[in-house]
Amino acid sequence: MTITEHRPEIIELTDEQQRREWQAFTLSDLPEMISAMHVCHAVRAIADTPLLERLRNGPRNPADGLLAGIDPDMGPGFLRYLVNRGILETRGEEFFLTRLGEFLTTDVSLARLGVYVDAYGMVTSRTGDLLTGKAVYGKDVIRDGGKLGAHCDTLFSAFHTPTLLTAMRGRKVERILDIGCGGGQLVVDACLRDPSLTGIGLDIDADAVAVANEHARTSGVADRVKFVVGDAFAPKTWPKECFEADGLCMMSALHEHFRHGEQAVIDLLNEISATFPELKILLVGEPEIRYDSRENDDDFFLIHVLTGQGLPRDRAAWFDVFEKSELTCRRMYTRPEAGPRLCFYDLAGKKRDQP
């Protein structure tokens, strides 16, 4: 007796309205946007768990401990997802980062991603509430300043410390003051690269200053570098150690003072000039906003809009501000193919103006 397998009838239901709606969705780029959103979070998860270290150095086989400490019900599926997205590949029973996976998990890539996901993710996820007033930035929503500082430290070390050193050497600076130093990476990095330099860092966040001093100690430069608490926008209140510096730098901070108006920025520059009459250089590093979609310019613009910061400006607008102050801009440095795109303005009192 032969048993015939019973298979149900399959009926596909289609109509013109359904077809048009699905076509609109597929042509909208939303499928790719959704995937990009999830890939961003997945890459952060690789870095935030032991997976990245294991994928780089082993063990790479789940049976040998690749997924140790990872939820056993989620881990295998997460690896499968990463293979589907081209971030991982399998060789036998082992998992390896693809070239794409390697590029996504460089220090710079993770820092750039971290700025938007870790530091500002809680802000952008509330865009609708911020726009309608249901949430207020600084009260109901705030960026993660600690993570922002850590990621910016990585990016500055990779791209911008050499610019700082070039500018300071050109003005024969011996002691740097970093105004708004955060975790202190810039000063520590500069002094590690140039043993002739000493440095001071100033930040209003006491916890950040403590972290910076510990960083100087573990990096072996505590005898040449010190960090102190102070308000970057109130020079006359700074601790006395700050006035030992002959070269000042202020990175990605001055534009935030535009929230108080252009004159507030001019007044601050004038106060710094008056407080440091023998200043060799004030190096102002500022992102140059460009209204395009290159290198995440539009994303950079958006986070400044949502957080009520003074918007970054282009170089022409900065030149106008400097011209109205007691300082003169002697030189501007740029560093193409580095992020964020910054302009570095070499400023000094007008009486010290030189080519």
Q: pLDDT tens for residues 141-165?
A: 999 888 888 888 888 888 889 999 9
pLDDT for the residue 351: 61
Average pLDDT over residues 14-22: 93
Strands 327-334 and 342-349: antiparallel
Q: E strands, 92-188, where?
A: 94-97, 175-179
Work out the pLDDT band at 180, boundaries 50, 70, 90.
Answer: very high
pLDDT for the residue 134: 97
> Is residue 193 helix, strand or coil?
helix
pLDDT at 355 over 60: no
Average pLDDT over residues 323-341: 89
> Is residue 243 helix, strand or coil?
helix
pLDDT at 290 over 80: no
pLDDT at 289 over 80: no
Average pLDDT over residues 170-197: 94
Instruction: Choose among 201, 194, 119: nearest CA to 154.
Output: 119
pLDDT at 314 over 60: yes
pLDDT for the residue 149: 80
Is residue 240 packed enough to be buried (19+ CB in 10 Å), middle (13-18) or exposed (0-12)? Answer: exposed
Distance CA 262, CA 321 (A): 8
Work out the pLDDT band at 263, boundaries 50, 70, 90.
Answer: very high
Work out the pLDDT band at 4, boundaries 50, 70, 90.
Answer: low
pLDDT for the residue 321: 94
pLDDT for the residue 2: 61
pLDDT at 240 over 90: yes
Distance CA 140, CA 156 (A): 30
Average pLDDT over residues 308-337: 88
pLDDT for the residue 304: 86
The residue count for the chain: 355
Distance CA 250, CA 114 (A): 22
What value does the mean pLDDT of the chain take? 92
